[in-house]
Amino acid sequence: MYTSYQEAYRRSLEDREGFWAEAAGRITWDKTWDKVLDDSRKPFFRWFRGGRLNTCHNAVDRHVEAGRGEQAAIIYDSPVTGTKRKITYRELLEKVSLVAGMLKGLGVEKGDRVIIYMPMIPETVYAMLACARIGAVHSVVFGGFASGELAVRIEDAKPKVILSSTCGIEPKGPIPYKPLLDKAIELSGHKPEKCVIHKRPQVEADLVPGKDLDWDEALAKASPAGCLSVEATDPLYILYTSGTTGRPKGVMRDNGGHAVALAWSMENIYNVKPGDVYWAASDVGWVVGHSYIVYGPLIHGCTTVLYEGKPVGTPDPGAFWRVISEHRVKVLFTAPTAFRAIKKEDPSGSYVKKYDISCLKHLFLAGERLDPDTYHWASDLLKIPVIDHWWQTETGWAIAANCMGIEQLPVKAGSPTKPVPGYDVRIIDEAAREVGPGTEGVIGIRLPLPPGCLPTLWENDEGYVSSYLTEYPGYYATGDGGYMDPDGYIYIMGRVDDVINVAGHRLSTGGMEEVVARHKDVAECAVIGVEDGLKGQVPIGFVVLKAGVDRPHEEITREIVDMVRNEIGALACLKDIAVVTRLPKTRSGKILRSTMRKIADGKEYTTPSTIEDPAALQEIAGAARTIGYPKQ
């Protein structure tokens, strides 16, 4: 369609309405829109005003109607339960229609909210699509979230019904969900009318008569429900950003712009065709799971992989290679932290040799900065394009990427390449003035945001404006800092609050991490800024070593200090480094740097409910003490 990236990008900004009207041709509409971009109520821009469609119809029914009902829609692969099965588009239509009928039978109507608190099983996908089918608004809460976090989401979304399961399953064993759900409802001021519990054989659960329903029994009484036509601007889902305090930020996604943006991205960013096998190794509780396990691949007519496992430990560092080989995956999308975990356990990449992964054409990574060392390791190992791309829960799809379906641009390690068509990305200073190439600043996106991004926060327009649009007028504030090189490549240096001030000099901890990660013995690392009475702030580092490294830690940390001094300068003054066995992370793979800072500064902190391994924080506290933090 486009002769070059530059042509596509220029048109997306100069002729927004024409560009996105053309993209909307990939979607089946019940009624064509009256206006592509409605800017009558700035800064609340709305896409495809007046258009009508159904997201579930676009993701399921239309593929069956087009004669592709026997194609696999979902491949469910669960090493933690030893289960593998394929679900065709025809089977998916039957399952989703029945779950939709079950919800209607419980009184769920258009606009009602349904919270989905479930693990990585096909029923979770059925539930999401069933809500979309009848015009209900789903809010998926990551399975295993603590009761307090679930309670604030119940309080804010006010669901009529909650769909849950008896347990999720981690490599260490099952995590019972029902006690967490019961406690959350007890804590919340809002009480759902019903809870429907899907029973898994690994954990039993006592259902409360009158409140709880058995999933299979409720389904047996249901009649299939058809698709309800909704406005393009009607809400599809709410996804709460993790780790929030006070009132949670409910990122709201609409139906029309969301479907158009994801369909466009599958072809133009990921370069996949209908029928290709696409695997986003994430969780449906996160935005990646919403966009690229469920909606994007299914709207585009791909086969999507639903994987209930880990990159290592289920059973070994070859887990990803097995899935790719068995299911003939064309594109893998995962987080850099997954590859750092594989690299740590298998530095030489020996496990990949056990499998035929010639089907894999592209690896996309996002969720955390892709450090150059991990990029080179993956690139050298796989011998395919490794594409770093950058986006956020709020945007729902990539802000910057190497758009493989348009034109493969030269890769620059450490950069997610250039802005994706539709995003007018600028580097600005604190006064919202644009800065030149090579100058670090705040990354802003000039309004309007393209389709698929949040139009507002759930029932909180004021919070949307104050959180994202007020600080830099005319821009959506990403909260990330970085710079653009003379070729227009973007470099993300981390959250704005990860820039530290050392004796009046602004330094990026992300830049230091980039150097540290290049050390031959380092699997992954985190550099944080801590308070210092003399200099204001100083950086300290925590490193995880690759498996099999048995050199003295003092020798390794001394080499790292020298590397940082040589490459960034003595000003960086990173001299305190501790070796740890793991870094504290959320379940989505983000390193908990802000909590680590509080520990090192001796401040009070609460253990985030999103944390994967709470014991990792205790190790950080012990390691910080060994290098003299917090300062007495």
Residue 244 has pLDDT above 70, yes or no: no
pLDDT, mean of residues 11-28: 98
Regarding whether 78 and 157 lie in a shared domain, the answer is yes
Total residue length of the chain: 632
Q: DSSP states of 462-524 as a string?
A: HHHIIIIISSSTTEEEEEEEEEE-TTS-EEEEEEGGGEEEETTEEEEHHHHHHHHTTSTTEEE
Regarding whether 24 and 138 lie in a shared domain, the answer is yes
Q: Are 154 and 183 in contact (CB under 8 A)?
A: no
Q: Can you read off the two tokens belonging to residue 122?
A: 């096909």
Regarding whether 207 and 96 lie in a shared domain, the answer is yes
pLDDT tier, 570 (very low <50, low <70, confident <90, very high otherwise)? low
Domain-embedded: residue 405: yes
Angle at 341 between CA 139 and CA 307, to 5 degrees: 40
pLDDT tens-digit profile of 502-517? 755 657 787 788 889 9
Percentage of the chain exceeding pLDDT 70: 97
Q: Tokens 């679900």 map to which residue?
A: 87
In eight-state DSSP terms, residue 41 is: T
Please give the Cα distance from 589 to 612 (Å, whole number): 8
Domain span at 67: 5-309+389-482
Regarding whether 622 and 563 lie in a shared domain, the answer is yes
Domain-embedded: residue 354: no
Regarding whether 92 and 232 lie in a shared domain, the answer is yes
Regarding whether 155 and 73 lie in a shared domain, the answer is yes
pLDDT tens-digit profile of 317-338? 999 999 999 999 999 999 988 9
Backbone region of residue 76 per phi and psi (left: phi > 0; alpha: psi in -120 to 50; beta: other values):
beta
The three-class DSSP label of residue 291 is helix
Please give the Cα distance from 388 to 418 (Å, whole number): 11
- Alpha-carbon distance values, 582 to 64, 193, 578, 620 (Å): 46, 42, 11, 9
Amino acid making up residue 337: T
pLDDT tens-digit profile of 582-604? 999 987 778 898 899 999 999 99
Q: Are 539 and 574 in contact (CB under 8 A)?
A: yes
- Alpha-carbon distance values, 213 to 139, 187, 206 (Å): 19, 21, 10
For the chain, the maximum distance between any two Cα atoms, rounded to a whole number of angstroms, is 71
Residue 183 has pLDDT above 90, yes or no: yes
In eight-state DSSP terms, residue 315 is: S
Q: Which candidate, 188, 186, 183, places its Cα nearest to that of 159?
A: 188
Q: Quote the pLDDT of residue 242.
A: 54
Alpha-carbon dihedral sign for residues 175, 173, 523, 120 = negative
Report the number of distinct structural domains present in the chain. 2
Domain-embedded: residue 326: no
Q: Which of 86-100, 202-216, 520-534, 537-551 has the lowest mean pLDDT?
A: 520-534
Strands 113-117 and 161-165: parallel
Domain-embedded: residue 369: no
Alpha-carbon dihedral sign for residues 481, 429, 402, 76 = positive
Domain-embedded: residue 357: no
Half-sphere exposure in the Cβ direction for 375 (13 Å, CA): 20
Domain-embedded: residue 604: yes
Strands 212-214 and 400-401: unpaired
Q: Quote the pLDDT of residue 243.
A: 42
Regarding whether 239 and 210 lie in a shared domain, the answer is yes
Q: Quote the pLDDT of residue 126.
A: 98
Percentage of the chain exceeding pLDDT 90: 82
Domain-embedded: residue 367: no
CATH number at residue 596: 3.30.300.30
Q: Can you read off the two tokens belonging to residue 514?
A: 């980039």
pLDDT tier, 245 (very low <50, low <70, confident <90, very high otherwise)? very low
Regarding whether 247 and 132 lie in a shared domain, the answer is yes
The three-class DSSP label of residue 226 is coil
Across the strands, what pairs with 37? 47
pLDDT tens-digit profile of 343-359? 999 999 999 999 999 99
Regarding whether 447 and 593 lie in a shared domain, the answer is no
Regarding whether 597 and 544 lie in a shared domain, the answer is yes
Amino acid making up residue 90: R
With DSSP H G I counted as helix, E B as strand and the rest as coil, what are the percentages for the chain, rounded to 5?
Answer: 35, 25, 40
Instruction: Name the domain boundary from 482, 516, 547.
Output: 482
Amino acid making up residue 436: G
The three-class DSSP label of residue 440 is coil
Helices assigned H by DSSP within 269-409: 287-289, 296-300, 319-327, 336-345, 372-382
Domain-embedded: residue 330: no
Query: What SS3 string covers 115-156?
Result: EEECCCCHHHHHHHHHHHHHCCEEEECCCCCCHHHHHHHHHH
pLDDT, mean of residues 536-552: 92
Task: Provide the whole-model pTM.
Answer: 0.86
Write the burial class of residue 496 (CB in 10 Å: 0-12 exposed, 13-18 middle, 19+ buried): middle
Instruction: Name the domain boundary from 452, 482, 512.
Output: 482
In eight-state DSSP terms, residue 313 is: S
Regarding whether 165 and 51 lie in a shared domain, the answer is yes
Please give the Cα distance from 174 to 176 (Å, whole number): 6
Give CB contacts under 8 A, 24+ apart, made by 93-96: 93/60, 93/61, 93/64, 93/69, 94/224, 95/122, 95/126, 96/56, 96/60, 96/126, 96/129, 96/130, 96/133
pLDDT, mean of residues 76-81: 97
pLDDT, mean of residues 517-546: 90
pLDDT tens-digit profile of 477-494? 999 999 999 999 999 987
What's the mean pLDDT when you consider all of the chain?
A: 93
H/E run at residue 618: helix 615-626
Regarding whether 534 and 419 lie in a shared domain, the answer is no
Q: Tokens 């064509």 map to which residue?
A: 32
CATH number at residue 419: 3.40.50.12780
Strands 475-484 and 490-495: antiparallel
Residue 294 has pLDDT above 90, yes or no: yes
Q: Angle formed by the axes of helices 5-14 and 16-23, to 10°?
A: 110
Instruction: Name the domain boundary from 482, 517, 552.
Output: 482
